[in-house]
Structure 1
Amino acid sequence: MAPFILRKADFFPNCTFPAAVAERYPQDVFAEHSHEFNELVIVLRGNGLHVLNGRPWRITRGDLFYIRAQDRHSYTSVDNLVLQNIIYCPHMLTLPADWAQLLPGLSEAPGRPDWRLTARGMAEARGLITRLGQETSHGDAWGALMVESLFLQLAIALYRHRYIPTQAPEPEERGSVEALIAALANSLDKPFDLDSFCARHHCAGRTLRQQFRQQTGMTIPGYLRQVRICHAQYLLRHTALLISEVATRCGFEDSNYFSVVFTRETGEPPRQWRQSRSASPLSLTD
């Protein structure tokens, strides 16, 4: 079944403006869809499963996605998930800026859709988004230019404060939940030891566990397990790796245990899941 399309007229308060804010408080399960516009998605709270062009991503506070109009995505398994969606029409952006650099995926060149946003970046972005939302409710002659100006400021703020999930965040965030999530993203295929992480970053394990649970709604082992399962789904669908090889690349030494966990999390054994959703195998370059 083809995804349904979200229409610009249903989401833009003023169709002469190049951008608008579409808040999700909270974001419920949402079926696969595409848009007549592009979208920035910032996760403010909670967690969920974001399926983008067939690839699942376990998302939580601080995740940032750049969605193109033609992309297909959906939300499932949500738990108190709160999003801030900024929608925009690229062809209506007129200010002289390098929009293609600021907004991944805007040009023909491939760009990664998934990023993380520092705590400082989250705070700065939320202030700009509030102003952007207020401005879109106005209809004066300068409204479109003001909206684009605020959207440009937002795009620059996100560019300055975003980082690839597997990269360490800014130095002042070492020992924080942000640094922990980056470490977990680098532990898909190997064991992760929280005590070693805390000793290296001079932080208290008990405090970090509490902060992680408060910000994501998940335990640290539960988050890592689900991130690994998402990676396993990607490998099963897009590669010809054996089930045992997928298990190893996702941090499971025992392929039988991997199958048990995968079945519990997805409702299907790995082999059956692959057969029902297989795509052309790809070589792994990332």
Structure 2
Amino acid sequence: MSSAAVARQGAVYTSGYSCPAPSNMCNAPIVVCRTTDVVPGSYSGCSPVPQASIPWNWKTQLCHHFTVGACCPRGPNCQFAHGIQELRTVAQNRAMKEQKTSEKRKTKLCANFSKSGSGVCPYEHRCQFIHPSDGESYRALFSETLEFDRMLKQHLAECQSLHAQRLQSPDPNERQRMEDEINMKVRVWNFSHPKKNNYYDLHAMTTGGAIKYVLDIINHMISNNIPQSLLETGRGNHSTNNFPAIRTFLLNNLNGFNGVSFVPQLGNDGILELTI
């Protein structure tokens, strides 16, 4: 690049940098950039990597001003390297650009891994959306995934099987044992597969088991200063005579008790907002 081209490129001065007079330019000391301009984890130089767009040739050559000992008018924003420690490779720039693009676009779950998906994405690692391999991003959306939906259906099927066996058993002790097993399975499910923080799914529980569970939840909320939790009781669509026994009992018998309130969630009355 000619000296004239470099001069044109550096026409815009960066605030905070004062260049020496032209007569002393050849003997001017090297300008050291602010250490606060360093991008953590990028490289050991002192000029920032552009955050919005990274040119493929960013800092791949030495700055002409720097090589002659002059003050670069673009300061840390110069696209050329101010020293060996700032030199980068084209591969580094492309890798950083791909990483930033990936971070920006990986905000939504891939439709192929949603509840209505197939579980297979033809784009694989090239997909712009969140996959199971994306770790924490995937876990944050786990309740929306096909994997979670399959596990929930299996959990409910096991509970329903136990309910059927319980109703057919002539032994009252055996029926009680199965009831306890069902209610414990639901508690374990909520602990291991929470839809969100302070969210409890009461589906498949017996009415008595659900009441004990809710009282335990209230005690947990009081002990940990949790003002509100959500209880998914359902509307009774899969209950005997389609009657929402758990929801009805909580609204009619525990609502207002010791300052506790149960309010159907706006837009989904199968979920109760429990407030203490």
Q: TM-score range by the shorter chain?
A: under 0.3
Higher relative contact order (CA 8 A, sep 6+): 1
Give the structure-2-normalised TM-score. 0.24
**What TM-score does the superposition give when structure 1 sets the normalisation length?**
0.23
Greater percentage in helix: 2
